[in-house]
A and B are shown apart, each in its own frame.
Chain A
């Protein structure tokens, strides 16, 4: 019930959508099952007058309490000898009618209140919603009891009572949406064209909130049937001789111990009815509000799945590499499509060296970096090829426990947005101590001392006090320093830094970069530095790997690449770095968009955006060509020195 209050914006829907919605609904097996049962029950209940049933109210004391499957009484008889099957069908009819009416009344009044409150805003909104809050301050069924107490027991009164207590669910959901809609342009336009408020409300706003009304109805109708049955069960709803499912159950209770079937049959009926409505309701909600779809949220597991078709043969690491990644391939499988985010990437980081991985967003640089320690999300990601050698050890064939041990100990990470990467509910000290204790047997106070020293190392003033701070109490720069301190906690050999300065101010960016640069030189730590910004690269990286569409297109020493790019893409990327006093430089940036990695073209992926592209470029895959020692490019028309300078 409470879930329905979490609903919010739906979108404007066209009529043409309706058929596909129905198909979606039928694809959901549970919802379809619910619909079939519900339709069957409703049809039988509607057909009650023309079915060959005994009169539900005729008593027959001789044949009282017959068991089920007796002759002439398929479900037996109750304590007055009335036919249970007949009473069940007629009772279902009453329960359905009452539940549906209560839902319609609640939906009508609640939506009206919500629409008016949301559309009018201001004082009207405040008063109406305070009233709704007051109603909601009562435990759900209690207010209904109070209303029945005043009106007196009876089916109609029970119906009103249940309708009233359900008004708030509609009012709150609709009000939220109406509030948002009434500030939208099309409502303003209607207002300016002189339409009356009533016409705007019902002509413009109402059609847009209808999906929410329907969702709320489908999720509350089951409850309303249940609760009206409940009031009848207590003897406060249907009064004899009138009977609904609840009152049948209530009366059957008197003979529960001797003849349980008299109460079990109507009880089961309520269950079947409500269950089918709930199944259908969940389905309707999934179709109309896909955000809430029960299966749409998937959670990444602890480590990226590794499914290498071909096991790599050569496992000898490059002579001076601490981290050696070769032919890494990572894919994402989403809805039948395969996105080859990383399609054979080689990266090498030496001790104390900083390798910059540069590319536009979507080029696969982050996924490559995250794949190394198994932090690329599975599902939907999986590593399908290549090796990552850490000090000669193949990380992709290591056990989960081994990977867990290496994470934070040998390879640590610094991520982009320090506000979302730190846990908001634990203090900075707690999170630092945790990082330390994950890999050493230090006592709490020792670890705290070390945490303090780490904060001092990343130049956070007053570290002892800062340990007690929560992430939201620190500035962006401070938070990123904390993240770096965490990465330094266990003297890792390699730090993987995924756009660590992107979310920061320019001045803070410079401080963080010089901090990282100093730390790696002091500690001889290798850094894999992911960024999209050549300006940042020139500040810290010894070597650069430029990535495009999941592949490295050029590598080499930073100065060489900056002064003389060989790949046309690299040259364009460098042009994107703004230079003070030359604002028009940015306009020379790359035309077109990067390719989507589920439909990569044959040949060079950059060809469609490249001015130098020829037919040859589009034919087959282009191989890396070594230009000089440690310098390679994936291009058959590399730029000459003169072109590169232009």
Chain B
């Protein structure tokens, strides 16, 4: 297993390099003088020239890429001109907040999606199945930013049960219960769509598995139906659901952009939106790179879990 994980980590390196290539060339597509674009139109000519030199922008594009990549590997993601601090510091600080939010949402959607999918398949065509199917359809059709606003209206404004925004209370707070109170609404909103997708797929996978011969074998052995479903069927269904959870990690990380803006969560998503409006491109670049790298690692983790479940893949 350890050697498998090592192998997968090695295989992730080209993917990560590919990400840097794409980000680099997207940034290189900026029309006009990149330094002006990065520094803004009010930059002095000296600053522009200095930045051009610093970034090696006077050299050929391919060479520029390797200089830039070398800098990245040394932890130098450049400086955010709007915040006047190193991009990496800001990005990592923001990213930890996003990880808390997206991680909670991912756990929520995996558990709820699997549960709903299994119940829906076992009670196929029954009322539970119909209700789950309907809720799933509504869930994946609702814009998450709209759902967030609705939840704020209901739970923060009308009922006043939960805070409407932020990660911590402004006065007092700072402990775990405070964080959880702030986390409930944004994490649930973020989880809705992914829950729907996972539930749908789990249902299909379960229905597929329940027709298999080995399920009949399990029943022929005289196992209680609960065990046939929860042990034999669910494990087999997981093999096809887990990669989907990995993919959903990407949708959850991306969806965090909306949710963080709606709930003013101090994560990387709201940072990116602000950075785009202020044309703080180095900050955008750093943020995109870090989130994309995290996504690659999430998928890798999903692969490893899948391999742990399915011995045929080893």
A→B interface (CB under 8 Å): 1-3, 130, 133-135, 137-143, 145-150, 152-153, 222, 226, 229-230, 233-236, 246, 249, 253, 256-257, 260, 263-264, 267-268, 270-271, 274-275, 278-279, 294-295, 297-300, 302, 373, 375, 377, 404-409, 412-413, 415, 417, 420-426, 434-435, 438-439, 470, 472, 483, 486
Contact = CB atoms under 8 A, between A and B. Distances in A.
Given A139-B250, A150-B27, A249-B146, A145 B221 contact: no
Contact of B257 (A145, A405, A407): A145
Interface in B19-59: 19, 21-23, 26-27, 29-30
B236 A424 contact: yes
B276 interface: yes
B200 interface: yes
7 contacts: A142-B292, A145-B272, A149-B284, A263-B149, A297-B207, A302-B225, A404-B223
Contact of B222 (A257, A298, A407): A407
Nearest to B245: A2
Nearest to B152: A256
Contact of A150 (B29, B152, B206, B219): B29
Interface string B282-301: 00110010011001100000
Contacts of B207: 297-299
B141 A137 contact: no
B254 A405 contact: no
Contact of A229 (B29, B143, B239, B288): B143
**Do most interface residues of chain A lie in helix, strand or loop, or is the interface mixed?**
helix
Contacts of A148: 276
A176 B291 CA distance: 29
B101 interface: no
Interface in B240-278: 244, 247-251, 253-255, 257-258, 261-262, 272-273, 275-277
A234 B220 contact: no
B220 A230 contact: no
A558 to B, nearest CB: 27
A423 B26 contact: no
A149 B138 CA distance: 31
B218 interface: yes
B7 to A, nearest CB: 18
A422 B216 contact: no
Contact of A412 (B144, B220, B288): B220
B77 to A, nearest CB: 14
A71 to B, nearest CB: 26
Given A139-B295, A145-B272, A271 B19 contact: no
Given A260-B153, A439-B222, A421 B214 contact: yes
Interface string B205-240: 011101111111111111111001000100110010
B50 to A, nearest CB: 22
A150 B27 CA distance: 6
A234 B236 contact: no
B214 A153 contact: no
Contact of B15 (A137, A264, A415, A438): A137
B111 to A, nearest CB: 18
A472 to B, nearest CB: 5
A185 to B, nearest CB: 31
B281 interface: yes
B239 A300 contact: no
A254 to B, nearest CB: 11
B291 A142 contact: yes
Nearest to A257: B157
A434 B219 CA distance: 11
Contacts of B75: none
A150 B22 CA distance: 13
Nearest to B247: A2
B251 A423 contact: no
Interface stretch (B78-86, B178-186, B304-312): B304-312
Give the top 3 A-B pairs by smallest Cβ distance, nearest first. Answer: A141-B254, A408-B222, A267-B146
Most chain A CB neighbours (cut-off 10 Å) among B142, B143, B279: B143
Contacts of A236: 273, 276-277
A403 to B, nearest CB: 9
Given A138-B19, A142-B253, A274-B141, A149 B213 contact: no
B210 A146 contact: no
Given A138-B22, A147-B26, A263-B149, A423 B284 contact: no
A422 B222 contact: no
B67 interface: no
Contacts of B251: 1, 139-141
A249 B23 CA distance: 30
B109 to A, nearest CB: 13
A435 B221 contact: yes
Interface of B: 15, 18-19, 21-23, 26-27, 29-30, 121-122, 124-125, 133, 137-138, 140-146, 149-150, 152-153, 157, 197, 200-201, 204, 206-208, 210-225, 228, 232, 235-236, 239, 244, 247-251, 253-255, 257-258, 261-262, 272-273, 275-277, 279, 281, 284-285, 288, 291-292, 295-296, 309-312
B220 A407 contact: yes
Contact of A139 (B206, B215, B291): B291
Contacts of A134: 15, 18-19, 21-22
A295 B121 CA distance: 11
Contact of B143 (A2, A260, A271, A377): A271
Contact of A140 (B146, B221, B254): B254
B288 A145 contact: yes
A439 B216 CA distance: 17
A413 B220 contact: yes
Nearest to B16: A137
Contacts of B250: 138-140
Contacts of B277: 153, 235-236
Most chain A CB neighbours (cut-off 10 Å) among B218, B220, B279: B220
B14 to A, nearest CB: 9
Contact of A298 (B27, B124, B217, B221): B124
Contacts of A406: 222
Contact of A407 (B30, B153, B219, B248): B219
A278 B137 contact: yes
Given A150-B26, A152-B279, A230-B143, 10 more contacts: A134-B22, A137-B292, A147-B26, A148-B276, A149-B281, A263-B149, A267-B143, A298-B124, A300-B215, A424-B311
A240 B222 CA distance: 68
Contact of A423 (B140, B150, B157, B236): B236
Contacts of A140: 250-251, 254
Contacts of A267: 143, 146, 149-150
Contacts of A222: 141
Contacts of B133: 294
A203 B257 CA distance: 43
A135 B292 contact: no
A433 B121 CA distance: 28
A299 B235 CA distance: 16
Contact of A405 (B125, B218, B222): B222
B292 A425 contact: no
A297 B236 contact: no
Contacts of A1: 197, 251
A141 B248 CA distance: 12
A138 to B, nearest CB: 5
A421 B216 contact: yes
A253 B217 contact: no
B313 to A, nearest CB: 10
A299 B292 contact: no
A438 B197 CA distance: 35
A297 B208 contact: yes
Contacts of B22: 134-135, 138, 143
Contacts of A373: 220
Nearest to B153: A260
B222 A404 contact: yes
A102 to B, nearest CB: 16
A412 B276 CA distance: 67
B292 A264 contact: no
